[in-house]
Amino acid sequence: MFRISALIAVLVCGQEAAFAGRSLTPKEVELLVANIPPALEMKRHGGCPTPEYSDWSPGLAMVQLRNSCPRSGSGFIGNYVVDLHSGKIWSDIDRKSEVDSPRLLALRKRLLKAPLNKPGSR
């Protein structure tokens, strides 16, 4: 009985370790930024929030958020820095102004617990 319990514990821990510490994919990062409060507000008012992913530095991404159907102007909303391991989002390069909401917290948790479908998938 002890051996079976130990084997189950090893298998469960191994499964959890496979998802622990994974990085977000570019598509997941864009999904997070599409759910920040300014993007949701824009969408409520008929806008078309469109995040554009760029690698920035190890473990971080830069995402430019644009309104792809602006009534006037360039449609530029802002640049956001995203931590690929925690899913945290900042509205400044210095990472002092974190963007967060209960919706983002729940989405981050769900994305970081999910297994990757394909390594390096976009």
Q: What is the DSSP letter of 90?
A: E
pLDDT in tens, the chain (122 residues): 545 444 444 333 433 333 457 899 999 999 999 999 999 999 998 999 999 999 999 999 999 999 998 776 678 999 999 999 999 999 988 899 999 999 999 999 999 998 876 555 44
List the structure tokens of 112.
């970081």
Determine the Cα–Cα distance for residues 99 and 15; give it in Å rounded to an integer.
31
Q: What is the pTM of this model?
A: 0.75
Determine the Cα–Cα distance for residues 34 and 93; give it in Å rounded to an integer.
18
Architecture of domain 22-113: Roll (3.10)
Sketch the domain layout of the chain as residue ranges.
22-113
